[in-house]
């Protein structure tokens, strides 16, 4: 989970092991294969809408906005990052915060860093609560427990989005909740089948005006401003959405591409740029020249993360010390030095590197870095923001 997209991390024994963070797309692709998981952010007064989606098997029944207006997007801050170990969170602003329990995952919002905490640092454990950590280190607990569920946030919006069952297994609600108050901002009823994943509800991603929902037959796109719902063009079905700033990774095993999540337009073909990782993590051996793609939170960069080797003592390392990082708009390539479990992203697309007592924030294009001192002396895996820690 920390450093999105590598896999097979012994899901069933994770709560008993101290394991470094690993990339999520591959974890979801492999570690949950037995559970049929295949891999791996609101302005209107709309009270009621009925929309049919022809040929997709999905339908929206109504939208319920519980507030008179919904927040507009705002620009994220480059110092909006966070690094956590145990219950201590170090912010890019220089502030620190404490939360009850271990940090499981961190999510970027415009109001601060949303932190998921629980008895263990692993997201597949059912116990969890969500806290908002503001840039000054102050915290807000809005007592939200979602269990084993993959929510979504957007660095430009003060919301968390998630899906919940609405009656039977074919009826669901997409919920947007304000992280500043804990109150539900809007709900949208949708209909569709979800049987492929091991979560308690379909996984979602929040990106701009849209929530993307991973259903059986399609990735569903829900416009929470208008209430419209449709099958997302060109995106994979039965897959965890990881949309960042309107960009999504599609494909699998060597045939990856970056697409515009709303239009389906091809933005960058990753074919031929390496042999893709099938499982992401290897024990006792290596798979050179393989990768798993990971988008930056601003959608501007895609890192081709190398495969990793984990030993019997659960120590892991990348099989290559560097990763190629591509500019999604231009196709330009940059090479970054990476250490397993020690990097992440700022909300504006700079790469974070955690070292001995410091966090470097580096511009991927120029390799210019700024340094922030951080004292990490806790136990358990280090969580670095900009990574998807869902399992």
Higher-confidence residue: 137 or 287? 137
pTM higher than the cut 0.95 = no
How would you label 210-243 residue by residue, b for 16+ Cβ within 10 Å and e otherwise? bbbbbbeebbbbbbbbebbbbbbebbbebbbbbb
How would you label 23-62 residue by residue, b for 16+ Cβ within 10 Å and e otherwise? bbbbbbbbbbbeeebbbbbbebebeebebebeebbbbbbe
pLDDT, residue 313, reads: 74
381 phi/psi in degrees, rounded to 5: -65, 150
Q: What is the mean pLDDT of residues 274-303?
A: 67
Higher-confidence residue: 285 or 226? 226
Q: What is the mean pLDDT of residues 46-64?
A: 40
Q: Is residue 3 part of a domain?
A: no
Chain-centre distance for alpha carbon 76: 16
CB 104 within 8 A of CB 126: no
Least confident of 38-42, 129-133, 291-295: 38-42
Residue 281: band (very low, low, confident or very high) from pLDDT cuts 50, 70, 90: very low
Choose the most confident range, by mean pLDDT, from 128-132, 147-151, 172-176: 172-176
How many other CB atoms are found less than 10 A from the CB of residue 88? 17
**pLDDT averaged over the chain?**
81
Six token digits for residue 329: 């708009």
pLDDT, residue 28, reads: 41
pLDDT, residue 317, reads: 84
Residue 72: band (very low, low, confident or very high) from pLDDT cuts 50, 70, 90: confident
pLDDT, residue 351, reads: 97
Q: Is residue 273 part of a domain?
A: yes
15-53 per-position pLDDT tens digit: 333 334 444 444 343 333 333 333 332 222 322 233 333
Q: Is the pLDDT of residue 2 over 90?
A: no
pLDDT, residue 168, reads: 87
pLDDT, residue 77, reads: 85
In the chain, how long is the greatest CA-to-CA distance? 57
Residue 126: band (very low, low, confident or very high) from pLDDT cuts 50, 70, 90: confident
Higher-confidence residue: 13 or 383? 383
Number of compact structural domains in the chain: 1
pLDDT, residue 21, reads: 42
Choose the most confident range, by mean pLDDT, from 45-54, 83-92, 267-276, 281-290: 83-92
78-102 per-position pLDDT tens digit: 899 999 999 999 999 999 999 999 9
Q: Which domain, by its residues, includes 275?
A: 11-384
Q: What is the mean pLDDT of residues 4-11?
A: 34
Q: Is residue 144 part of a domain?
A: yes
CB 251 within 8 A of CB 234: no
DSSP strand pairing (275-276 vs 290-295): parallel
Q: Is the pLDDT of residue 74 over 90?
A: no
Q: Is residue 5 part of a domain?
A: no
Q: Is the pLDDT of residue 201 over 90?
A: yes
Q: CATH code at 53?
A: 2.130.10
Rounded to whole angstroms, the Cα distance separating 21 from 25 reads 12
Q: Is the pLDDT of residue 61 over 60?
A: no
Q: What is the mean pLDDT of residues 285-311?
A: 82
pLDDT, residue 271, reads: 87
Least confident of 39-53, 237-251, 260-274, 339-353: 39-53
Higher-confidence residue: 378 or 66? 378
pLDDT, residue 65, reads: 56
């Amino acid at each position: 989970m920390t450093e999105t997209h590598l896999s097979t991390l012994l899901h069933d024994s994770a709560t008993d092991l101290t394991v470094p963070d690993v990339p999520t797309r591959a974890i979801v692709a492999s570690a949950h294969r037995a559970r049929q998981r295949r891999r791996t952010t609101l302005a209107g007064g709309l009270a009621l809408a009925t929309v049919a989606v022809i040929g997709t098997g999905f339908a929206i029944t109504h939208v319920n906005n519980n507030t008179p207006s919904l927040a507009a997007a705002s620009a994220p801050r480059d110092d909006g990052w966070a690094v956590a170990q145990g219950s201590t969170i170090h912010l890019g602003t220089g502030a620190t915060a404490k939360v009850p329990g271990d940090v499981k995952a961190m999510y970027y919002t415009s109001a601060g860093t949303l932190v998921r905490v629980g008895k263990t640092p692993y997201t597949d454990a059912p116990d969890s609560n969500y806290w908002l950590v503001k840039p000054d280190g102050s915290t807000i607990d809005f007592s939200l427990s979602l269990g084993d569920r993959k929510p979504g946030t957007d660095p430009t919006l003060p919301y968390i989005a998630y899906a919940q069952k609405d009656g039977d297994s074919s009826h669901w609600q997409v919920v947007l909740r304000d992280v500043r108050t804990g109150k539900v901002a809007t709900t949208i009823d949708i209909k569709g089948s979800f049987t492929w994943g091991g979560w308690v509800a379909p996984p979602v991603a929040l990106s701009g005006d849209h929530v993307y929902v991973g259903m059986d037959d399609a990735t569903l796109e829900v416009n929470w401003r208008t209430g419209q719902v449709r099958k997302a063009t060109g995106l994979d079905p039965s897959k965890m959405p990881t949309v960042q700033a309107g960009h999504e990774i599609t494909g699998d095993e060597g045939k990856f591409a970056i697409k515009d999540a709303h239009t389906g337009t091809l933005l960058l073909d990753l074919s031929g740029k390496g042999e893709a990782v099938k499982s992401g993590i290897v024990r006792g051996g290596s798979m050179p020249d393989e990768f798993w793609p990971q988008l930056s939170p601003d959608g501007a960069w895609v890192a081709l993360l190398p495969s990793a080797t984990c030993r019997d003592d659960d120590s892991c390392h990348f099989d290559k010390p560097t990763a190629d990082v591509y500019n999604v708009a231009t196709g330009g390539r940059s090479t970054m030095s990476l250490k397993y479990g020690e990097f992440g992203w700022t909300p504006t697309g700079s790469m974070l590197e955690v070292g001995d007592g410091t966090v470097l924030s580096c511009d991927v294009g120029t390799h210019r870095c700024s340094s922030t001192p951080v004292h990490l002396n806790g136990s358990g895996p280090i969580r670095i923001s900009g990574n998807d820690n869902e399992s």
